[in-house]
Structures are given as structure tokens and as C-alpha cells.
Chains A and B, each alone.
Chain A
Amino acid sequence: METTSKQFTVSVYTENNIGLLNRISAIFQRRHINIESINSSVSEIENVSKWTIVVNLTEEQMKKIIGQIEKQVEVIKAYYHTEEEIVYQESCIFKMKSDLLFNEQQIQNIIIDNNARIVTVNKQFFVLEKSGRKEEIELLYRELSGFGIMQFTRSGRIAVSKEEMKISKILEAINY
């Protein structure tokens, strides 16, 4: 039995429903599993939501949890993936003092080298945005932290799988 924890990215296709966040997060909570990040949005199919959840657990646990998620009435289908099986992005924003932009030459280079983007600048502060993989964001954070970060926030992961997820086919196949 696999006993080491790994990071998995879960994709869940659901009906759009008020109570579902509660239902899905309760599945993790009940088993004392921390959700690293969770994101819900529209999907490629009309009226179908897509959730992307990042968790650390064993594959054995992961399989059971997928079963529990799919068991929920309003869940259409759930998948789990390792990092190699997906293309993902996370995004983050930094708020920093505007002086830094003009006084610290290095800042300009960090922005360019990291493919970050200045969203807005005013007298007091500027806002920097960066999308990318987890390590890229962590790197940028490390490089900027010496200069004093006023505010930082990072989004949940969003991901697409390399393999097809046959949601439309599943929906077609459900005749009711």
C-alpha cells in the first residue's frame, strides 16, 4: 500500500449549486485533510461548474475521496491528477512601495526576468502581478521579500489536464 503523501490536483465538474462548496469541503474536513487551494469557476460546458482542488495525501486516500465526491448528487464527474498530468497556473499579486521602482534598479530587473507585470502605479504604491507555476511564484516572492512587501496574495490553482476529460460525452450518455 502506498503510504507517502503526494500532491494531487482534483478536477470536479458539477451542477451549479449553492450548497456544494459545503458538501465538497466537508468530505475533506471529515477525514482531517487540509485543502491547499480550491477554485470554482465556469467550465467549457454551459451551466457546469469546474472545481480545481489541490491536496496532499496518499493515492489510496485520493481514490477513496474521489469516490466520495462523485457520490454527491450534484457532482457530474471527478478526476485526480499528478503534476505531470496537468498544465496549471497560479497567480499572485504584490503591493509594494512606489519609491522602490525608482530607487532600486534591481527591482526593474526582477520584474523583467520573472515575466511579472505591473498592474498599476501611483504615488504610494505599485501592484505587480505574476502568473505561473508554484515554484516561479515562490521564487519571485523570495526575490522581492528583501525589499519589503506591503501586501501579498496568491490565487488557487487552475488546471487543465493533458488527457481529455470526457464531460460532454458523460452528460450525453446520461439519459433521463
Chain B
Amino acid sequence: METKTIQKQQKTQPQTERLSGSEAIIKCLLAEGVKTLYGYPGGAIMPVYDELYKCQDQIHHVLTRHEQGATHAAQGYARISGEVGVAIATSGPGATNLITGIADAQIDSTPMVCITGQVASHLLGSDAFQETDIVGISTPVTKWNHQITKASEIPEVMAKAFYIARSGRPGPVLIDITKDAQFEEFDFSYKKCTGVRSYKAIPETDKNALSAAAELINNAKKPMVVWGQGVILGKAEAAFKAFIEKAGIPAAWTILGVSAIPTEHPLNVGMVGMHGNYAPNVLTNECDVLIAIGMRFDDRVTGNLATYAKQAKIIHFEIDPAEVDKNVKTDVAVLGDAKVSLKAILPLIHKKSHNVWKRAFDDLYAIEYEKVIKNDLHPTKEGLTMGEVMKEINIQSKGEAAIVSDVGQHQMIACRYANFNQSKSNITSGGLGTMGFGLPAAIGAKMAAPDREVVCICGDGGYQMTIQELGTIFQQKAAVKIVVLNNEFLGMVRQWQQLFFDKRYASTEMTNPDFVAIAKGYHLNARRVTKRDELAEAVQEMMQSKEAYFLEVCVEKEDNVFPMIPTGASVSDIRLS
């Protein structure tokens, strides 16, 4: 009789094992499918590192050279794979060094879990060595955060962290764990989180909204789509392609949306926003229905809101209710998951082709080609342009490479000119514009997708913000291809100084080190190009290399990126020179 009850109990109770907090953390990571994480050790996180040491065959810890690098690497990992990126650091300075990457992930909706060590719980609030209120500091830049002071909280909180980071509109979550909780033993069992009662990850798609949207689309004479990263995050690429193809609507992208459909797709009319293409910017103010999909009307996209698409009816497909009517008032908001909504609207949409309207885009493209693109890609002047470097990379990559860019002129050129055949291939810091993002993000991207070519495009300024990650590349043998477009200026700021501050180049000129020597110091293959006739061959050599490769291209010092919508101007007042 007694044995029977015991057996019964064993069946209903989840299996537990006696573990320390730090062992439990590793078990949780493994249960969530984490194979790689990026971090930097220190006092308050040492128990977890000790477990990482013991579990090296199951989980790969990558030692970056700075905690900021760990977050950007985790972001690169997440952006190319769609999985949650994981970064780990010690308390105090380790934790505060994560903040830039966390803020970047928050504004660009990147799923990431950051784990920080914390001083022992009895020391909290005592200004103990390397104590910092990282939960307080990270609150405004995390989707969720939590401090664990008891080991028994670990499984539930970790499960919740991963669920929140990856579900709905993704974002960064920070979990701070006191050192005593890492040592404490408890009975561990793990259950994945499938919901949080106060948190609705995805709003339901409303049928009425769908039919109202469909009616506007079907009656539109000059419809235009602007899509963003929501299409990629929602894995809605195929549904999106089917939608624009059936409706025959020209579609433009934000810099985080690009690569959701191939660059060469006939309905792809280019990039919107400050340095976007001429046609989609100008025609934003001529279309009669603007269909925004998984984008948030950032000010870099809309220019002056008072003159943004005022003539158009606005349809907004969006997962985050707080984005609806935030910047642009919508006529129809279709809340919900992009894939679900786009699949559901497809049967309601009439098959059409808007050929005459599409030609308006082609005509404006021709103007942009003459005034800007031709000179960028096929320059006749002596100095090298950033655009022609991208052109050579396109030739070599055939559109299959992932392009990771840093922030500045080179970023705009990379996003404007890179060719993409695959989704999740443009990895760049959009909303925060974080210089220093590129190099570490490229490491994460390469490690998540080792079979893909990953090309990192940096400026000479941003490159030096996280240049120390060359050490990580060398140690991990991460075959990242690094291109520094060296104009010896903080180019983007210099461009603004030239255009808006009468060429007063305040602190934008850079006296640079020998970048090739530095790369060689890290045992990387490295080469510098200063002349056009060396470029194609150098890019080819880089792309064919099986190992990491550093290429410095000395470009024209004072080139500008055009088109350009000056701050506060209307999208249709975009300048071509």
C-alpha cells in the first residue's frame, strides 16, 4: 500500500535533481537550446564560469574583449539566426558595459538574454565592491528584467526570460543573479514558459480590420508598401512576397527590413528614409494608400511628420499596439503577427498590376541613377568610392553574403547597394545607430551561420570603437571578412558639418594607425588598397579566403552620401546633391 502511493507521487511530481544555482543556470541555457554565448568573467559571476568550464562540450562560451562586444556578438547571432542571443558578464563595470548593446537590442527588437552576476544578497545596497544597480540602470532599455536572490527562482525566471525575449515583439531581457544564489543548492526541475498572464505577446488579428484594409488596397490606384524588420522577425517573408505579388504593389524597405525579399525582385523599389532612394521617398507623398508592414515610422524614415504621406490612407500591420498611431495616424490598423495577417488578407486581395504607377518609380530611379548611383558605382574621378567597393563585394558574393555594417556613411552605402538573395542578411544598428556594433556583431553572425559568408563593413571611426574584438576573431578562428572604408574622417558627421555647419570640421578628422599592421598583429590576413586597379582583385582575394581577412580601402576623404533628406524636411524634398 505504502509503496503504491510513493510510486504515484513520483509520477505526478516533476523530476528534480539537487543542483547549485550556477549548475541550474547552465541547465536552463541548455534546455533553451543555447549552444553559444558571449561574455567576460569576473568575481560575481565566477561560479557560473566554473560550470561553463565543466560543460565546455555542450555549450561554447566565447570570450569577447569587452562586454559591449559580447552584447553585439549576441545581437549578430540573433539577427542572422532568429534565435535568442545570450551575453553574460560580471557585476559592476561588467554589467554597465552591456548597456549600449542592450539599448541597441531594445530599439531594434532583437531577442537577447543577458545574465549578470551580482554581489551576494546580504551586501545589496551596501556599495559593496563592484556593486551596481544594474536592474535599475537597465530598466528603461530592457523588455523585462529581474534580480534573482534565491537559487530556487532560477528555473522559472530563466524560462520566463527566454519566453519574453523571443515572443511577440522580441527584445532584450536582463537577469541579475546574486553570488549567493549561484552557490545555493536546491531541487531543480525545468519547465519551459509558454505564457505570462499579464503579457500578451501577439494581439489577435481582427477580421474587420483585415477587410477594411483589403477594401482600401483593392480600390487603390497608387498603393505603396513600406516594410520593416517585422516581416523578418515574424518569419513572414513568403507571405509578404505573395501579398505584394498578388496586389502588384511597389514595395520599399527600411534599413532593418531589407533582405526580406531579394534585392532584384521586380516590385522592390528600394529604401525609404534619410539616405534612401529617390523614388520611394518622393512617391510616399504621391501614393493614395500607404501600407506599412512591421515598421514603426521612425523619424529617420518619415522626415517631417507634418508633411508625411498626408494625401494617403494609411494601413499599418503591426504586432505592437503601442506603435499604432504613435507617429503617424492610421486609417486602418491591422494588429497581430505579420505572417498571420498577411496570409489572412491574401484571399481578400484582388489580383492586380499597377504598371503605370510602378513606372513612376522607374522614372525617378533613372534620375537617381544619373545623378547619384552611376557616380557611386562607376566613378570616373580618381579617388575610390565606398559604392564601388560594395559593387565588387556584390560581384563576388552573388548576393549570398550577410552584410554586417557599422554606423556612418559606409553603413548607408552598404545598405543602399548591397545585394541580398536571402533573408536576415543585413545586420546593422538601425534605431540606436551604435558605432562599434559592426565588428562584434559580425563575429556573432559568423558563428551562428558558419556556412555563410559574413562581410563586415566599417568606417575608420567605428572600427576603432571595438577594434579589440580582432582578438576574439583570432582566438575563435571566426572567418569574418572585414572591410574598413577609410576616409580618415568621421565621415557622416563631417558631411553634416560640410552641409549645415559651413565646413567647420570640429573633431572629425582622424589620424589613424596602420590598420593592416594591427590586423597582422592579431595574425589576420590583411591588405590595403589605395588604387582602383587593385580593388577587384583584392576583394576577390578576401572573399575567397577560408580564414578571416582584413581589407582596408582608402577611399575619397570628403565624399558625401546622397540622396539626403535634411533633418526636419519632407520626404519629397529629398536632395540629390
Contact = CB atoms under 8 A, between A and B. Distances in A.
Interface residues of B, number: 23
A73 B196 contact: yes
A73 B144 contact: yes
A122 B382 CA distance: 93
Contact of B322 (A14, A68, A76): A68
Residue from B135, B139, B144, B324 having most chain A Cβ neighbours under 10 A: B139
Nearest to B133: A22
Contacts of A71: 320-322
A120 to B, nearest CB: 34
Interface in B182-207: 194-200
Contacts of B145: 19
Given A19-B145, A22-B139, A64 B322 contact: yes
Which applies to chain B's interface (DSSP): helix, strand, loop or mixed?
mixed
A23 B200 contact: no
B196 A67 contact: no
Contacts of B326: 64, 67
Residue from B144, B194, B322 having most chain A Cβ neighbours under 10 A: B322
Contacts of A75: 198
B325 A63 contact: yes
A23 B198 contact: no
Nearest to A20: B139
Interface residues of A, number: 22
B199 A26 contact: no
A70 interface: yes
A136 interface: no
A108 B148 CA distance: 55
Interface in B305-357: 320-322, 324-326
Given A64-B326, A67-B322, A73-B144, A22 B199 contact: no
Nearest to B321: A67
Nearest to B145: A19
B143 interface: yes
A171 interface: yes
Contact of B199 (A30, A64, A73): A73
Interface in B364-381: none
A174 B140 contact: no
B198 A176 contact: no
A74 interface: yes
Interface string A17-31: 011001100100010
B136 interface: yes
Contacts of B320: 71
A73 B197 contact: no
A15 interface: yes
Nearest to A26: B140
Contacts of B135: 19
Residue from A63, A68, A74 having most chain B Cβ neighbours under 10 A: A74
Contacts of B197: 15, 76, 171, 174, 176
B66 to A, nearest CB: 27
A70 B322 contact: yes
Residue from B139, B197, B198 having most chain A Cβ neighbours under 10 A: B198
B164 A23 contact: no
A64 to B, nearest CB: 6
B246 interface: no
B146 interface: yes
A71 B200 CA distance: 9
A76 B139 contact: no
A141 B335 CA distance: 49
A74 B320 CA distance: 16
Interface string B130-171: 000001100110011111000000000000000010000000
A23 B139 contact: yes
Contacts of A30: 140
Contacts of A74: 144, 198-199
A67 B144 CA distance: 16
B321 A70 contact: yes
A71 B144 CA distance: 10
Contacts of A67: 321-322, 324, 326
B198 A73 contact: yes
B120 to A, nearest CB: 18
Nearest to A171: B197
A64 B297 CA distance: 15
A14 B198 contact: yes
Interface in A50-81: 63-64, 67-68, 70-71, 73-76
Contact of B143 (A22, A68, A73, A176): A73
Nearest to B199: A73
Given A73-B198, A176-B197, 10 more contacts: A15-B197, A15-B198, A30-B140, A64-B326, A67-B321, A67-B324, A67-B326, A73-B143, A73-B144, A174-B198
CB-based closest 3 A-B pairs: A176-B195, A67-B322, A76-B198
10 contacts: A15-B197, A19-B147, A22-B136, A26-B140, A64-B325, A73-B198, A76-B197, A76-B198, A171-B197, A174-B200
